[in-house]
A = this chain, B = another copy of it.
Amino acid sequence: MKNKFVAYIESLQDRITSTLEKIDGEAVFQEDLWQREEGGGGRTRVIENGAVFEKGGVNISKVFGKLPKSLQENFQVDEANFFACGLSLVLHPKNPFVPTVHANWRYFEMYDADGNIVTQWFGGGQDLTPYYLFEEDAVHFHTTCKEACDKHDGSFYPKYKKQCDNYFWNAHRDEARGVGGLFFDYLKANEDFSMEDRYNFTTEIGDSFLHSYVPIVERRKDMKYNQTHKDWQEVRRGRYVEFNLVHDKGTLFGLKTNGRIESILMSLPPTVQWKYNHVPEAGTKEAALIDVLKSPKDWV
């Protein structure tokens, strides 16, 4: 299973980066291969200063070895060996009308002293963070997510959509990071689904990513914008930073497993502003975004 999923994310990374390069038309991804001292490594691909993508990363990694002490409590185990692999991506477009997107699909195994798998699961999801709200974009993104889910089980979309709203909640700001998408974790085998089913579902979601995001980029990337729009984008990117550094378990996992810092923090936006107590005027498009973030809605 682990080799199959590693091969999948390697191929998906290729598909995603080549598609994004075509859309951008100017910048290309720079690749960095890195090794983790305790076991494993990764292939980081970062794009910067593009015509469409101001900054973005599409990274795969595969880490294994002794489970770090700091994670034993998380997983409620004592000493154990683990294996984890996944693809993580974050794209920060230049044009404030193009939403930022994040996605991650991952697989995890833990072993007993004899090297037998004692537990294994898939996790992942994708979520959209607009700076200006175009309802049709949120609807398109969620519809694509729902269609991919529905091929597997009718309960998946409502459940994982809700988990996404809960996970990407910027608690100290009392608002969502964006308009959500899907979030699922600890997908283990049970009486209804085999690990093979879990693999098929996770890769179905991975395959749906470009369909969910690319059409939105295509219709927004050439829209005219001014400095007010750009300032607002940069202020909202500040909230993105706050979420990732204060609340995001994925970032924390990376820091705690001695991950490669630059690969983990590629998620941070290129230019960011923090203004004191910045509240958009009522009735503006900026205020309309906040309204939606304060109480996540159903888009499909």
Chain A window 262-293, contacts with chain B (Cβ cutoff 8 Å), 1 for yes, 0 for no? 10011011111111110000000000000000
Residues of B contacting A246 in the complex (Cβ-Cβ under 8 angstroms): 245-246, 255
* Interface size in chain A (residues, C-beta < 8 A): 29
Residues of B contacting A275 in the complex (Cβ-Cβ under 8 angstroms): 48, 270
Find out whether the CB atom of B272 lies under 8 angstroms from the CB atom of A273. Answer: yes
Of the candidates A32, A57, A275, the one having the most CB atoms from chain B within 10 angstroms of its own CB is A275
For residue A55, CB closer than 8 A to chain B, the reply is yes
Q: Which residue of B lies closest to A57 (CB)?
A: B276
Q: Which residue of B lies closest to A245 (CB)?
A: B245
Please tell me which one of the listed residues B48, B262, B273 contacts residue A271 in the complex, with CB atoms under 8 A apart.
B273
For residue A158, CB closer than 8 A to chain B, the reply is no
Find out whether the CB atom of B265 lies under 8 angstroms from the CB atom of A46. Answer: no
Find out whether the CB atom of B271 lies under 8 angstroms from the CB atom of A266. Answer: no
Alpha-carbon separation in the docked complex, A266 to B274 (Å) = 8
Find out whether the CB atom of A277 lies under 8 angstroms from the CB atom of B241. Answer: no
Please tell me which one of the listed residues B265, B272, B276, B277 contacts residue A272 in the complex, with CB atoms under 8 A apart.
B272
Find out whether the CB atom of B276 lies under 8 angstroms from the CB atom of A262. Answer: yes
For residue A10, CB closer than 8 A to chain B, the reply is no
Which 4 pairs, one residue from A and one from B, show the smallest C-beta to C-beta distance?
Answer: A245-B245, A268-B274, A262-B277, A272-B272
